[in-house]
Structure 1
C-alpha cells in the first residue's frame, strides 16, 4: 500500500501556485458531453479523479487529449452506453453523468456514486429535479436508470429543499437542452456553480442567476464547442494558507481568488494570523501566538465544510479552548482520533469537535479516511516532531494536484513511498 512519509518540524518558505478547482472540473468534464464540437479546458488539476473521468469519457466514445493542464475533449463520438461498474463507482462526481446524459439523450444508466464516507449524502434532490423535468427512475442491478418519454426533458420549476451544490449543477446540466424554461429556487451559490454555468453559456446555453439562489435556464437545441479556463481551487488555496500559518516562515500562495475565501480568511484573522491579501495571492507571515476560535460550517459564502478538516491542525497551535461544528456533513470527524494519536488534545462530543491548545504533535502512523482528513494529516505531519506515515493516500491524491512536488519546493521533507 502506498504511503506518504513526512519528517516534520521543518519550516516552509517560498511560493506555491494553486491549481484548477477539483469541485469544478469534476462537473465540467461530464458537461462537455452536451457539446456538438470540441471543448478545451485549461487549468485542469493533476488529480486521480480527473484520471478516472478521462477514462470514463473514453469508454463512452469521446476523444480526450491531455497536454499538461490542458484537456481537449471531442464528445461527438459519445454513445449512451450503460456504465454500471468500475471507475463510475469510485468517485462521487459520477452522478454528473446523469444530468449530462439526460440532457443529450433523454436517458442514462449509471452506477451509483462512490466517494468519501462523510455520512448520509443522498441524491434525492437530483432525482426530484429530474422527475420534475419528466424523467422516470428505475434500478437495474447496481445501476440507476433514468429515462424520459420521447427523449425530451421539459423545463420545470424546481425547489431545492436543502442547499445542494451537486443537485444544482446536475439540474443545470439536464435543463440546458430541455424544452422551455427551468427555474431552480434555493439554488446553491458556490463559485463552482458559476464556473459550470460559464462553460455552458460559452457553449451556447442560456443560464441566468448562477451565484444567486434563483437560477433560470432557457433550453436550447444545440450547444457548440468552446475553450474554458477552470477557476482556482479555493479549497486547495485554503489548505495551503492554513499550512503556511501552521509551519511557514513566509509563504506566498498565488493564483487565488480571495473573494472565494472571505469566510475562511475572516476566521484566520480572528485567530490572529498575520497575512497580506492581494488581488490574486495571499502572503502568510511567520506566526507568533494564535487564539482559539469556534468554527461553524455553512453553505457558501459561509465557512466551507471542505476546509473544516484542513484548518484543524492550525487550531491545535492556538491558545485556549475552541470547537468546530460541521452542519453539512455530520461524519466529518474521522481526522480527530488520528490527530489525538499524534498527541493532540482533541475529541468529539455530541457531534462537535472540541480542542484545547497549544499542542506539540508527535509523528505517528496515521490513516487518511477521506480527502480532506488526509490534507489535515499532511499538515499535522509537517507540524509534528519526528516521522509521520500516512496510509490510504489515494484519498489525498484524488483532490490535491502535485501535492508532494509543491510541498517539496517549499522545503518540506515529504515523500510518496510506493508499495
Structure 2
C-alpha cells in the first residue's frame, strides 16, 4: 500500500524565517493519536466499519497497510477523501510477518486484530519516536487477564489467544495507561467478554473508542474509577459508521505558534473541550484564548501576565497531554516569567528536544532527565536543527518563527509521521517556510 502523497513527495527540510504575526483561520486534520486505536477497534468488531476523517499522516497510512497484510480489507472510496472502510477478509493461511511494524510506536494496537484473524499475534518491539522505552509489561498483563499466553524474545513478542474466551474479565491498571486501556477494550471486543477495567485512562482517544463501540451496539460506561464494557446481545452484521476527531495536538501546536508570534487566529475542526487544559494554561500566562465547540481562537495579546507556566504532563483525566508540552516550551521562550516543564510519561523526550532548542540559543536548566525550567523571554538565533521526533519537530518550527535569521529544520519525515503537512498549515497563517529540495 502506498503512503499518502504528502508522506513521499514533501521535502524533508524547511527553512523558517521570522515575519509578521501569524493570522487567519486554518483547519486541522484528523488525529493520528485517535485514528490508530479506532482502526484497531474497527478491525476487532468482526464487521465492516466506515471511518471518516482518517489523516494522511505516515503512521496512520502505515497502520492501514499492516491491517491489509493481517487479513483485513481496506477500501478507500475515491469520492470520499479521508474515508476508509475496514472489514474482515479472507484470512491468509499463516500469520503475516510484520517485523517492519517496528517503524511505528503504536504497533501494539495490532494485537487484538491479529488475535481475531489468526488466534495469535507476533510483533516486534515498538519503534517510532525515540522518546523512551514503550513499556509493554502492562499490555502483557492485560492479555494474561484474558487467559492469553505471552512469549518474549529479543526481537519482539507473541500473544497466543486463550483456547476458550472468558465471559467476564476484571482487572485494575496500576496507572492510567492509554495503550493498555485500549488494549483491554479491543481484546474484550474480540473475545465478546464483559470487561470491568479499573483505574482506566480517560483521554479523548480512549473515550472516543468507547463512543464508537456504543454506536456498534456495545454498552459502555466510563468514569474515573472504572470502565464497564458489555457486548451486544446478538451478532450484528450491518456496517458501522465512525469518525476520527480533529487533531487536538495539531490544534494546540498551531495555537502556540500564533501566540508565539503575537498574532491572532482561529483553528477549526477540533473538539474544543479537549483543549481545556491547554487553554487554561495559555490564559493564565496572559495569552487570551477562547474555546468553541469546534475551534480554539487566539486573541491579540495586549500584555502578557508574567505568571509562570507549569506544563506538567499527566495521565489523570484532567491532566495535560504530554504531546502539548514541546509546543508550550517553544512558546514559553517568548513569555516573561520562569516556567517549569515535566514529562515523566515519555522519559526520552527532553533528551531530544532540549539539545535542539539549545542550538538556537535557548537557555534551559535541566532539573532531571524529565524536568526542566526556563526564564523568558529569550532571544533565539536561527541555525540548523533536526526534528528527532514528531513533537520536537513541531516545537522547532515554532521556535524558528521567533528566532533571528534563518532556521533550517531537517528530519521532517519524523514530523509527517504525526502530521500530514503541518508546514502547509503554518504557511496558510502567513508563516515564512520554504521547502529545501531533497
Q: Under TM normalisation by the shorter chain, which class is it?
A: over 0.9
Query: How much has 1:150 moved relative to structure 2?
Result: 2.4
Query: How much has 1:261 moved relative to structure 2?
Result: 1.4
Structure-1 separation of matches of 2:375 and 2:93: 54
Pairs within 5 Å for 1:74-223? 74-79=87-92, 81-103=94-116, 105-139=118-152, 142-150=155-163, 152-178=165-191, 180-209=193-222, 212-219=224-231, 222=235
Query: How much has 1:129 moved relative to structure 2?
Result: 1.0
Query: How much has 1:339 moved relative to structure 2?
Result: 1.1
3-state SS of the aligned residue for 2:152? strand
Given candidates 319, 339, 357, the residue that maps to 2:357 is 339
3-state SS of the aligned residue for 1:156? strand
Given candidates 389, 396, 401, the residue that maps to 1:370 is 389
Pairs within 5 Å for 1:350-389? 350-351=368-369, 352-389=371-408
TM-score of the aligned structures, taking structure 1 as reference length: 0.93
Does residue 1:326 correspond to 2:343, yes or no? yes
**Pair 1:55–1:321, CA change in 2 (3 A):** same
User: For structure 2, which runs of at least 5 residues remain unmatched after alignment?
Assistant: 1-10
**Pair 1:390–1:228, CA change in 2 (3 A):** same
2:23 matched residue in structure 1: 13
8 A contact 2:26–2:266 mirrored in 1: yes
1:235 matched residue in structure 2: 249
2:4 matched residue in structure 1: none
Count of residues in Structure 1 that have an aligned counterpart in Structure 2:
418
1:27 matched residue in structure 2: 37
Q: Deviations over 1:207-263 (max 9, x none)?
A: 322x54411123457454211111222111111111111125221111222211111
8 A contact 2:251–2:296 mirrored in 1: no
Does residue 1:295 correspond to 2:308, yes or no? no
Query: How much has 1:308 moved relative to structure 2?
Result: 0.6
1:406 matched residue in structure 2: 425
Query: How much has 1:408 moved relative to structure 2?
Result: 1.5
Query: How much has 1:175 moved relative to structure 2?
Result: 0.5
Q: Deviations over 1:244-302 (max 9, x none)?
A: 11125221111222211111111111100022332322221233443232222212321
2:3 matched residue in structure 1: none
1:260 matched residue in structure 2: 274
Query: How much has 1:141 moved relative to structure 2?
Result: 6.5
8 A contact 1:6–1:413 mirrored in 2: yes
Structure-2 separation of matches of 1:23 and 1:316: 27
Quote the RMSD (CA, aligned, Å).
2.2
8 A contact 1:10–1:247 mirrored in 2: yes
TM-score of the aligned structures, taking structure 2 as reference length: 0.89
User: For structure 1, which runs of at least 5 residues remain unmatched after alignment?
Assistant: none
Does residue 1:349 correspond to 2:367, yes or no? yes
8 A contact 2:112–2:186 mirrored in 1: yes
Query: How much has 1:103 moved relative to structure 2?
Result: 4.5
Structure-2 separation of matches of 1:159 and 1:102: 22
8 A contact 2:382–2:400 mirrored in 1: yes
